[in-house]
Structure 1
Amino acid sequence: MIQYPKLKSLASVLSFVLLVSCNKGEQISSISLVERIDTTTTNAHYISNRAPLKPSALIKLPVGSVKPEGFLKEYLIRQKNGLTGHLGEISAWLQKEDNAWLNKSGEGNWGWEEVPYWLKGYANIGYLLEDQKMIDEAMVWLEGTLASQREDGNFGPRHFDGDNQDFWANMIMLYCLQSYYEYSHDERVIELMTNYFKYELTVPDENFLNGYWQKLRGGDNLHSVFWLYNRTGDKFLLDLAEKIHRNTSDWVGRQHDIKDIHNYYEVRNGGEVPDWYRDQIDWHNVNHAQAFREPAQYALLSHDEQHVKASYENFEIIREHFGQVPGGMFGSDENARPGFADPRQGIETCGIVEQMNSDEHLLRITGDPFWADHAEEIAYNIYPAAVMPDFKSLHYITSPNMVLLDAENHAPGIANKGPFLMMNPFSSRCCQHNHSQGWPYFVENLWMATPDNGLVASIYGPNTVKAKVGAEGAEVSIEEDTHYPFEGNLNFTVKTASPVKFPLYLRIPTWTKKAEIAINGEVVKSDISKVGFAKIDREWKSGDQITLTLPMDIHVETWEKNSNSFSVSRGPLIYSLKIGEDYVKRESDQTAIWDSKWQEGADTQKWPSWEVKPTTDWNYSLVVDKKNPEKSLEVVERPWPSSEFPFTPESVPIVIKAKAKQIPEWRLDEHGLVGELKDLPKTSTSPEEEVELIPMGAARLRISAFPELK
């Protein structure tokens, strides 16, 4: 289990330097351990922050530089063949007729967040897979957007929030345009963004970001302004950045007036709003997951460490009260509600992918490897279970403890009314489109450029990266061959036309102890723990191999604020009780929520919904020695799946055998949800049984937070 962040100085901290000779006659390598990567130099080959912005801690590589391999590539292929790849044929919001995104005047009945939500992931999957059909389809929407710019500089649908322009959907489309520019270098993107931001600067403050969603999410607008400034240096963009920050909701402040917190909220049993509830400007799950980072984004311009600190605190505050659960997210199944913090509370799929995106932003902004650890925790534990293995349907709410996914309404047990637990390709319209960004954005951030013309393996998974490095910008290719996160061996092979000297950084996750690095088969450093990055400075030759070994111990995390429940993890993976799953097919047009819409002529029978019901008992807690869990838990390795998809109960390559006791009092409650932990006895007279634990991401039905048994 990763440790939650404590803000440190952003300066690079040198732990040790070791000169080693790898095999006789080879180039001497310098090995050092650093908490952060030094930012006193500027990368010569990739666009970094311009003054007066703070120097880039890490630099995103252009789209397409990192290509997925192994199960990550299989994920994108399944998205392409599943809902993401076919939404243009079935979603009413993506129909081309009468679509405001394809109208030069911005007029049309279909034209808000759905098109850019979907396009963020759809287009980038096309770039990553080099799928021309997907790229051509994406270009229909990108060309429509580029053609929509009006004389005043505004573009896209004429969408209003009351009497004011709604800037929210345009913020998402700017992401799409930026990715397209990185892939194509089409200068029309720069021209459109420049003219659009000049338009935003002319809008009076009282009419700018005036509305619920856009006001909370101004950080996304700020990101695009800085992206453009780093490419053009236009000074007016800094004025616009100041304007965006002052008109965005206050994610820095604490003890807000309750009238300024606009999300719907309720307190359990009609109690009073707790004092701590005023410490966040909003508690809607998606708003928080994507907007908590805004102060750290603004800190690039303000240079105020208190702004960086505010984003860390925002992260901690919601998890202090609603995130005492495994999986890295928090219980806000629409809005976080005081008194509703049991592991049965969940998170929208939108919230999951937006949290991953925020982690990736903050990793680049701060250089803090914590955000990479957390991105992996989300991506490899809770996100896979939010969608069906074939990526043809998903559910709105995903919880650490959920043992029945049906088409019933579970409110007020969860905060929203509707069939939000079942797997449905049409419910709800936000997650239906927005889920597409999760895996492609994750892949793009596996590697980043460093200020000293090097590369950092920032997030781990099978891939190949091509990038410019060293003083002269030589292109190198590095293949990362691994079954991580299921195993701790990561093998990197360097390919280069001629020897080239550059620093290569490897992230050392906080959960590992005694990590080891070998170069060309010879161990150069061992016993690495509790440090951010290992830096290898060396002249690399084609064929050089680096092996990073990350020991994966079993760990038990106790969640004291959630009835002393506990979870089991091994390395970056959290493990859940294996529950038999019975998939019951339902017709989507009979089970989708009221605002679901599909195109005329779309065959909904090709896109069924699924209930998932348990076929085995689930009301267990584990009998485990928490201080020495390896004594009572047995790790069993299985063959890697030929499908290259390890996230189903049948295909997982690692299981853990454990002893468990049933708790007869633990049942579904009156809302059809797994009973809350606080109501359970602390003892059980049931006999011990052997159970299996599987990775949380493979368990669509799961118990991940186990009740305390004394």
Structure 2
Amino acid sequence: MFDTTEKNYIRIAILWSVHILFTMSARQRIILFLLFPWMFLLSGKSVQERDITVVNRPPLDQRNAFYVSNRSPLVPQAFVPLPAGSIEPQGWLRTMLELQRDGLNGHLEEISAWLVKENNAWLSPDGRGEHGWEEVPYWLRGYSQLAYVLHDSAMIREAQSWLEAVIRSQRADGYFGPEANRYSSDGKPDLWPNMVMLDCLQAYYGFSGDPRVLPFMQRYFHWELNLPDSMFLTHYWEKSRAGDNLYSVLWLYNQTGDTSLLRLAEKIHKHTANWEQPDNLPNWHNVNIAECFREPATYFQFSHDSTDLHFTYADFQLIRRLYGQVPGGMFGADEDARPGHTGPQQAIETCGMVEQMFSDEILLALTGDPFWGDHAEDVAFNSYPAALMPDMRALRYLTAPDMISSDWQNHAPGVENEGPFFQMNPFSHRCCQHNHGMGWPYYAASLWMATSDDGLAALFYSASRVKARVGQGETVSVEELTHYPFASQIRFVLHVPRPQPFPLYLRIPAWCSRPVVKLNGQSVPVHVATGKYIRIYRTWREGDKLTLELPMALQVHRWVAQRNSISVSYGPLTFSLGIRERVRTESPALHVVPDARWQPNADTLHWRAYNIEPASPWNIALVSNPSGNLAWAKVKSYPYPDKSNPFTPEHAPIRIFALGQMVPGWQVDSNGLCGPLPQSPVQLQTPVDTVELIPMGAARLRIAVFPEAITRQ
């Protein structure tokens, strides 16, 4: 609590106090006795104020006493994910999770051909059968985590039926899962599908503590360790994505201390695609990049070589420097990032979005760098919600920052793949159909984490309740009340069985310059905390109330690489033009991508596909003044939709009104995409009118990157 200098001052003060006490008269001692309680309270307040500090991250020389984290020789981690089910989300996030449960992810077994149980290789004791690749574990990863977060007993039982079959499928040599992956067409194993299933098993172990999981994984990894190099990670997907395998190996090492796993970690890194190339990537597939750029940072835990950690940051910056000069946190790679396709009309897969969120959450825990928290929010609030219909019963493969249609038409070669990749369709888009479900459940499971110094950290702000062991081992509960990101205030109420000292960390986003903290109604001093953490160490008592205010301001961002265009944000939300939608429904079996497959009895009347076209002008420039700020803008809040999806044009609780002008020369291009942006500033003679901007994540059709028109007034 005190540094060495403070301790010396305290010793001197105690000695002087004893000396003075013995020189006092009896009357003076009585007066001092009466004043002592008040002096104690005042001194206690002073100590509490000194214990509110701003830090870059938690200390990295300690290990949490209550939750398994990196053991030697791995580098210490800043934050420790809590066991599945520890966090109970509320508010808008719970609404999103319940919509997911009632929507496509929760009912995909009624649709997907890959989830048919009859003759399914993932349910077979010997791994023989059909549908044995990534689709089942992709779906199960999101579905099971959703079940744990919602504590939904029916979903937990369903997830358990799949996991039990996986555990029963382990062979004598340690291999598990579909036999076709063990001996692929060239006779070498394809380890990629099992990497995803290992994620499912880790979450299951955190939720249940099932003692079978650890030896099951240990036997499988020993089988991997014994594979000859010539048969290890030889195929494209597994070689690109082996960082997922590495992550699970280090997770198990932390659980068991089995040092042979460290030899496997070295082997995996040696055979993984090289994500440590200066100014280059091993491939430019969008999901690979969003998922695999973290492999060097994962290996850094073992290597202790800062070069490894550097390349995770370098890969992240490289793809965004070349293809990500747009709002929303993602980059243009409508399958692969391609030279010459760098504008805001270039899209990203829904798979890429959820994998990026997961990578950010993992990196936040490993490094403690609040940058990853900011970026996860950027994707979660601004890119991901618009990839699905508001009721989450259909999704599309591709979503772009500037997107003026969502239909079944073929937009190639403007996008790389030929086919109906823009349509909202529950039957199509095979990988995203199964993988999208991980987005919100894993985000919800990362709202809170334990810290290396036995405290708690609020990392992503959302109404929730968390239970965790802290301090001296007591289980405490913290209730979080907020409408963030649609409001700036976050309130915490602590529930402790008895007074408990422990640190509580609050992440301060990089966009917030002046956070305000109040403890039990009293303001506390906070030094510059932008992009850092506020650490509050004190003895917490039942009912203590902590309030964090993150004041939001309107900001204009300039995208020089996009012909000097602009985007508008307010706090963590980027805003898009409010384009009215014309929605037409059709059978989801009518227009699908070539590899789509669904069950013969899937109800095409209950599950619909959606074509969305603009019903109002989209070719709008925003009007700025010569200083670069919007010429006129007003932020307006609306009643918060307690039980509705706030990421919709109808229910968005915050909107911006600004001045805009139509840009007649900005039109649809020959591929049916939003045409190239005109060079800003544009000179226009069209009338100036008020335009409405809604959160980018609420806009299925959207213009989030605008030309700029400058008024002379």
Fold match (TM-score > 0.5): yes
Quick check: 2:565–2:680 contact (8 Å CA) kept in 1? Answer: no
Offset from partner CA, 1:120-163 (integer Å, 9 cap, x none): 11111111111111011101110110010011110001234632
Whole-Å Cα distance in 2 between the matches of residues 565 and 475 of structure 1? 51
Paired AA for residue 555 in structure 1: Q
How does 1:64-143 map onto structure 2 within 5 Å? Answer: 64-143=85-164
1:501 corresponds in structure 2 to 501
Quick check: 2:370–2:531 contact (8 Å CA) kept in 1? Answer: no
State which drifts further: 155-164 or 174-183. 155-164
Q: State the Cα distance separating 1:479 from its structure 2 match.
A: 0.8
Aligned residue pairs total: 668
1:431 corresponds in structure 2 to 432
Percent identity for Structure 1 against Structure 2: 50
CA distance 1:302–1:685, change in 2 (3 Å): same
Q: State the Cα distance separating 1:642 from its structure 2 match.
A: 3.6
Whole-Å Cα distance in 2 between the matches of residues 223 and 481 of structure 1? 33
SS of residue paired to 1:159: helix
Whole-Å Cα distance in 1 between the matches of residues 524 and 515 of structure 2? 11
Quick check: 1:21–1:29 contact (8 Å CA) kept in 2? Answer: no
Whole-Å Cα distance in 2 between the matches of residues 640 and 23 of structure 1? 40
CA distance 1:191–1:355, change in 2 (3 Å): same
CA distance 1:22–1:346, change in 2 (3 Å): farther
Q: State the Cα distance separating 1:209 from its structure 2 match.
A: 0.8
Mapped pair 1:336 → 2:341: no
Offset from partner CA, 1:484-520 (integer Å, 9 cap, x none): 0011100011001111000001001100111110001
1:214 corresponds in structure 2 to 238
How does 1:152-163 map onto structure 2 within 5 Å? Answer: 152-160=173-181, 162-163=186-187
1:172 corresponds in structure 2 to 196
Counterpart selection for 2:66 from 34, 45, 48: 45
2:267 corresponds in structure 1 to 243
Quick check: 2:141–2:199 contact (8 Å CA) kept in 1? Answer: yes
1:421 corresponds in structure 2 to 422
Paired AA for residue 210 in structure 1: T
Whole-Å Cα distance in 1 between the matches of residues 526 and 405 of structure 2? 45
Q: State the Cα distance separating 1:178 from its structure 2 match.
A: 0.5
What is the TM-score when the length of structure 2 is the normalising length? 0.92
Offset from partner CA, 1:464-493 (integer Å, 9 cap, x none): 1100000x2111101110000011100011
Quick check: 1:422–1:610 contact (8 Å CA) kept in 2? Answer: yes
1:261 corresponds in structure 2 to none
1:574 corresponds in structure 2 to 574
1:380 corresponds in structure 2 to 381
SS of residue paired to 1:505: strand
Q: CA RMSD in A?
A: 1.7
SS of residue paired to 1:693: strand
How does 1:333-482 map onto structure 2 within 5 Å? Answer: 333-470=334-471, 472-482=472-482
SS of residue paired to 2:567: strand
Quick check: 1:554–1:629 contact (8 Å CA) kept in 2? Answer: no
SS of residue paired to 1:536: strand
Q: State the Cα distance separating 1:631 from its structure 2 match.
A: 6.0
Quick check: 1:28–1:538 contact (8 Å CA) kept in 2? Answer: no
Q: State the Cα distance separating 1:322 from its structure 2 match.
A: 0.2
Counterpart selection for 1:226 from 246, 250, 255: 250
2:84 corresponds in structure 1 to 63
2:292 corresponds in structure 1 to 291
2:24 corresponds in structure 1 to none
Quick check: 2:563–2:680 contact (8 Å CA) kept in 1? Answer: no
Mapped pair 1:658 → 2:650: no
Whole-Å Cα distance in 2 between the matches of residues 22 and 200 of structure 1? 60
Quick check: 2:623–2:631 contact (8 Å CA) kept in 1? Answer: no
Whole-Å Cα distance in 2 between the matches of residues 600 and 132 of structure 1? 29
2:209 corresponds in structure 1 to 185
Mapped pair 1:311 → 2:332: no
Whole-Å Cα distance in 2 between the matches of residues 115 and 680 of structure 1? 47
Mapped pair 1:199 → 2:223: yes
Whole-Å Cα distance in 1 between the matches of residues 543 and 679 of structure 2? 59
Q: State the Cα distance separating 1:23 from its structure 2 match.
A: 10
How does 1:682-697 map onto structure 2 within 5 Å? Answer: 682-697=682-697
CA distance 1:279–1:638, change in 2 (3 Å): same
Offset from partner CA, 1:161-212 (integer Å, 9 cap, x none): 6321000000000000000000001111111100000000011111111100
Paired AA for residue 652 in structure 1: A
Whole-Å Cα distance in 2 between the matches of residues 491 and 115 of structure 1? 39
Decide which structure has the larger Cα Rg and report it: 2
1:700 corresponds in structure 2 to 700
CA distance 1:627–1:192, change in 2 (3 Å): farther
Whole-Å Cα distance in 2 between the matches of residues 326 and 20 of structure 1? 50
Offset from partner CA, 1:643-664 (integer Å, 9 cap, x none): 2421111111111000001000
Offset from partner CA, 1:429-464 (integer Å, 9 cap, x none): 100000000000001111111111011111111111
Whole-Å Cα distance in 1 between the matches of residues 94 and 42 of structure 2? 36
Mapped pair 1:668 → 2:692: no
Quick check: 1:22–1:520 contact (8 Å CA) kept in 2? Answer: no
How does 1:591-610 map onto structure 2 within 5 Å? Answer: 591-610=591-610
Whole-Å Cα distance in 1 between the matches of residues 202 and 297 of structure 2? 21
Whole-Å Cα distance in 2 between the matches of residues 520 and 21 of structure 1? 16
What is the TM-score when the length of structure 1 is the normalising length? 0.92
Gaps of 5+ in 2: 1-39
CA distance 1:341–1:678, change in 2 (3 Å): farther
